[in-house]
Each structure stands twice: as structure tokens, then as C-alpha cells.
């Protein structure tokens, strides 16, 4: 998709006409040019087009031009554009080429609060999330995650810590028990091997005596 012509501030209809993508009829955005007919399109528009069509939208054999025509790049770079977050209060007017960078960091971008998922301005987000009761907090003392509105006083925290210790202790105990079981089995095994060996030796000496 291209940029809506409404967003161009230094609007000269006669120039804009040459800067339109013939697929979306908006101002070219990340343009690519057909080397055969020299028409330009937004890259995303053309990619979508080729999902259903084989030929250039201008019906010719599409071959991508190595570079977009210089004049086109120049005309585009002279455009002054309003930010996409104008409706949220951003008053910036940005040059076409700097637009993408601005919009990536625009403080008037809307984001969702991590806690309650309400839409808020990015520039207020830190402050807002510091107060939101639904934001999850991680306690380094007891390793628990809780919501800010939940009670996490010293008693709750200590109880968690004790439970963690207990779990750890149980875990160690289980592993010790397993180790003990393994050792016992090993001993039984050795014992059986020894008995078998003695039995075998006895048999041999009896055979020798029998001769």
C-alpha cells in the first residue's frame, strides 16, 4: 500500500499524478519499476499482484529495473508528509525519505499496556505501566510473579521463600534416595557375581579332586 495523497502537505496535483502507484492509486511507497514499460509500483502492491497474475499490471512482460528512475526518486524525496499518528496528536511534518524512521520512533504511536492491554500513547506508556494494577511484577526474593494489585507483603514473600527452600530440599532428598537405591543395587549385583564365581571355583576344584 502507498501513502494517501491527503498526507502530502506540499501538494501539487500535477506532480502527484506522476507519483501514484497504478495498483493502489496512492503515493508510491518503496517503489519498484518495470523495466519494460517504466511504470512504478509500491513493492508490496506488486508482490500482491504477482500472487494472482503473471504479467506486469501494465500487461507487459515484467522485468524489474535495477533502479527506480532518478527523477522519480527526486520528486518523491521532495514531498513533505504528515505522520500516520496525526490523529493521535503528532504534529510533525516529515520529508518522505525520513518518514519511515520517524514513524518507527514516533511518541504518538499507540501501544497496549502490558498489564490491562488498554491502548495508550507510547510516550506515556512507561508512566502508565508503572501505575497499572494489572502489570505483572517479578519478585527476585521469592521468584514469584504477581500482579501489582495482588498483595505481596513480607509475609507472602517469606512464605514463598520457605516453600522454595522446601521444594529444593525435597528435590535434594529425592536425588539422594535415588543414589542410595542405585548403590544398593550395585552391591547386590556384586554379591551375586561373587557367589557365582565361588560356586564355579568349588565345582572346578571338586572336579580336579575327582580325577
As a whole number of angstroms, the distance between CA 27 and CA 5 comes to 6
| C-alpha separations of 100 from 30, 133, 173 in Å | 10, 34, 59
CB-based contact 58:35 (threshold 8 Å): no
Minimum CB separation of residue 155 from Zn ion in Å reads: 10
Minimum CB separation of residue 172 from Zn ion in Å reads: 22
Minimum CB separation of residue 67 from Zn ion in Å reads: 16
Residue 15 or 134: the one with the smaller Cβ distance to Zn ion is 134
Minimum CB separation of residue 2 from Zn ion in Å reads: 4
As a whole number of angstroms, the distance between CA 15 and CA 8 comes to 11
Minimum CB separation of residue 13 from Zn ion in Å reads: 18
Residue 15 or 48: the one with the smaller Cβ distance to Zn ion is 48
Residue 71 or 154: the one with the smaller Cβ distance to Zn ion is 154
Residue 37 or 121: the one with the smaller Cβ distance to Zn ion is 37
Minimum CB separation of residue 51 from Zn ion in Å reads: 14
As a whole number of angstroms, the distance between CA 163 and CA 198 comes to 53
Nearby residues of 118 by Cβ (< 8 Å), 6 or more positions away: 112
Residue 58 or 192: the one with the smaller Cβ distance to Zn ion is 58
Q: Residues in the site for Zn ion, rule: CB under 5 A?
A: 2, 21, 23-24, 34, 36-37, 42, 45, 56, 58, 60, 83, 85, 90, 92, 106, 108, 113, 115-116, 132, 139, 141-142, 157
Number of H helices and number of E strands within the chain? 6, 8
| C-alpha separations of 199 from 2, 150, 185 in Å | 92, 71, 21
Nearby residues of 2 by Cβ (< 8 Å), 6 or more positions away: 20, 21, 24, 25, 26, 27, 28, 29, 42, 45
In 79-103, which positions are buried (b, 16+ CB within 10 angstroms) versus exposed (e)? Answer: bebbbbbeebebebebebeebeebb
Residue 164 or 186: the one with the smaller Cβ distance to Zn ion is 164
Amino acid at each position: 500500500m502507498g501513502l494517501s495523497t491527503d498526507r502530502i502537505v506540499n501538494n501539487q496535483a500535477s506532480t502527484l499524478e506522476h507519483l501514484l502507484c497504478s495498483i493502489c492509486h496512492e503515493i508510491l511507497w518503496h517503489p519498484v519499476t518495470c523495466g519494460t514499460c517504466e511504470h512504478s509500483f509500491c513493492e508490496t502492491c506488486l508482490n500482491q499482484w504477482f500472487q494472482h497474475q503473471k504479467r506486469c499490471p501494465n500487461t507487459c512482460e515484467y522485468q524489474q529495473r535495477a533502479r527506480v528512475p532518478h527523477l522519480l526518486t527526486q520528486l518523491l524525496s521532495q514531498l513533505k508528509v504528515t505522520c500516520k499518528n496525526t490523529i493521535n496528536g503528532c504534529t510533525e511534518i516529515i520529508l518522505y525519505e525520513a518518514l519511515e524512521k520517524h514513524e518507527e520512533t514516533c511518541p504518538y504511536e499507540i501501544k497496549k499496556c502490558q498489564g490491562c492491554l488498554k491502548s495508550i500513547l507510547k510516550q506515556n506508556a512507561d508512566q502508565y505501566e508503572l501505575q497499572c494494577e494489572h502489570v505483572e511484577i517479578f519478585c527476585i526474593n521469592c521468584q514469584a510473579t504477581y500482579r501489582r494489585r495482588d498483595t505481596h507483603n513480607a509475609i507472602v514473600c517469606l512464605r514463598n521463600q520457605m516453600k522454595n527452600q522446601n521444594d529444593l530440599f525435597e528435590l535434594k532428598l529425592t536425588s539422594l534416595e535415588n543414589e542410595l537405591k542405585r548403590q544398593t543395587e550395585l552391591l547386590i549385583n556384586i554379591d551375586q557375581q561373587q557367589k557365582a564365581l565361588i560356586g564355579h571355583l568349588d565345582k572346578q576344584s571338586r572336579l580336579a579332586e575327582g580325577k
